[in-house]
């Protein structure tokens, strides 16, 4: 008895859920067009408009880099693998916000001896898809100098201060 009732309910549900063509020819009613709403565009517009909804960048950001040729950063000459660290808390305290560490020291947990440290200059750029380091070739053609770096997903770039 219960199985036949359950079976009848299932068959009835299939008829109710089955698609059927709506024929408006029987009535003098115009078809109603429902406008589509681009929810994603509305949400993105709201995110851009409200700075409280846009997440702040992390306090400390890191990027591993490999300098294949010699690169001058301040008084240091770098070649090989390094970690660039930018710290917003240091910047707020007026300390050098960018530290560059030898990759091996950083991997060992030693953050006491950066090979270079400086106050960066804030630069506005297009959003970067990946971590980026901009180098300029010195007049001798052999050395390069760090001019700026940018973290993936950010529109802010961090420039090496000129004239120091």
Mean pLDDT, rounded, for 121-135: 93
Residue 43 DSSP SS3? helix
Burial (CB < 10 A; 0-12, 13-18, 19+), residue 128, is middle
pLDDT at 33: 47
Query: What are the residues facing 85 on neighbouring strands?
Result: 62, 99
pLDDT digits (tens, 9 = 90+) for 5-45: 445 545 555 555 555 555 545 555 444 444 555 556 665 66
Q: pLDDT band at 129, cuts 50/70/90?
A: very high
pLDDT digits (tens, 9 = 90+) for 54-103: 566 678 999 999 999 999 998 999 999 999 999 999 999 999 999 999 99
Residue 82 CA to residue 65 CA, distance in Å, equals 5
């Amino acid at each position: 008895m219960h199985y036949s009732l359950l079976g009848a309910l299932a068959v009835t549900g299939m008829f109710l859920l089955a698609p059927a063509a709506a024929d408006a020819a029987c009535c003098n009613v115009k078809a109603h067009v429902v406008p589509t709403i681009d929810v994603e565009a509305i949400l993105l517009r709201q995110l851009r408009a409200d700075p409280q909804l846009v997440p702040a960048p992390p306090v400390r950001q890191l990027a591993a880099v490999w300098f294949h040729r010699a690169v001058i950063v301040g008084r240091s000459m770098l070649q090989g693998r390094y970690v660039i660290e930018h710290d917003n808390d240091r910047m707020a305290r007026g300390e050098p916000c960018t530290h560059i560490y030898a990759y091996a020291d950083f991997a060992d947990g030693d953050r006491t001896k950066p090979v270079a440290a400086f106050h960066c200059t804030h630069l506005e750029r297009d959003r970067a898809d990946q971590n980026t380091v901009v180098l300029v070739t010195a007049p001798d053609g052999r050395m390069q100098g760090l001019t700026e770096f940018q973290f993936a997903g950010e529109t802010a770039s961090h420039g090496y201060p000129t004239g120091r």
